[in-house]
Amino acid sequence: MNSAPKGGQPTERQKAQTDDRKANRRGAARLAAVQALYQMDIAGTDLNDILAEFESHWLGGEVEGDKYLPAEAAFFRDIVRGVVADQRNLDPAIDQALSKGWPLKRVEALVRAVLRAGAFELTNRKDIPVRVIVSEYVDVANAFVDRDETGMVNAVLDMLARNMRAEDFDPARK
């Protein structure tokens, strides 16, 4: 049964519901991407293996009694592949945003994964507002680490956003 009006155009409510579902699927994709990047960093898992594992078992599946939210698989792949492909550029940018004397290699692996994924989106996904990217990755970090580390993630991603997408902070350009 089609729930669109006779003219074929969706209502504002239907658009909002679709946007909410897309946002939830993207949020789940970000969470899964961070977990995949973490696993790659810790266990040295190959890119193709990690993509196959997550897409077949984790995205929208149930693992050890935990139900994982359906995720936008293409978005998940884009983040993971993008971070791996662009890591040589992302890591120095993150290092610059971190406090002096505290290089990225000293940051806990899960936080590294969050920062890399956030930095990737900031540099490569101009279609997504800066505030959305920063907020989403702060939420991801909050699921795994304590408040101090979440605050650090927020500060580093905010600094990266101001460096990488300064035009988004210039009111004259909007």
pLDDT exceeds cutoff 80 at 75:
yes
pLDDT band at 14 (very low <50, low <70, confident <90, very high): very low
Q: Please answer whether residues 111 and 152 qualify as being in contact, where contact means their C-beta atoms are separated by less than 8 angstroms.
A: yes
Alpha-carbon span 71 to 43, nearest angstrom: 23
pTM of the model: 0.81
Non-local (6+) Cβ contacts of 98 within 8 A are: 104, 107, 156
Beta strand pairing call for 66-67 and 62-63: antiparallel
Sorted by where each begins, the domain ranges of the chain are: 18-164
Q: Which CATH architecture has domain 18-164?
A: Orthogonal Bundle (1.10)
For the segment 119-174, what is each residue's pLDDT rounded down to a tens digit? 999 999 999 999 999 999 999 999 999 888 899 999 999 999 999 998 888 766 55
Residues 73-81, mean pLDDT to the nearest whole number: 95
The pLDDT value given to residue 168: 85
pLDDT exceeds cutoff 70 at 13:
no
Helix axes 73-97, 12-43, angle to 10 degrees: 60
Non-local (6+) Cβ contacts of 55 within 8 A are: 73, 76, 77
Which tokens in the block code for residue 22? Answer: 């897309």
CA distances from 92 to 8, 12, 44, 143 (A): 49, 43, 21, 26
Alpha-carbon span 65 to 55, nearest angstrom: 17
Alpha-carbon span 71 to 101, nearest angstrom: 37
Alpha-carbon span 163 to 161, nearest angstrom: 5
For the segment 37-60, what is each residue's pLDDT rounded down to a tens digit? 999 999 999 999 999 988 887 776
Within a 13 Å sphere around the CA of 81, how many CA atoms are in the beta-carbon half? 9
Name the residue with tokens 């009694």: 65
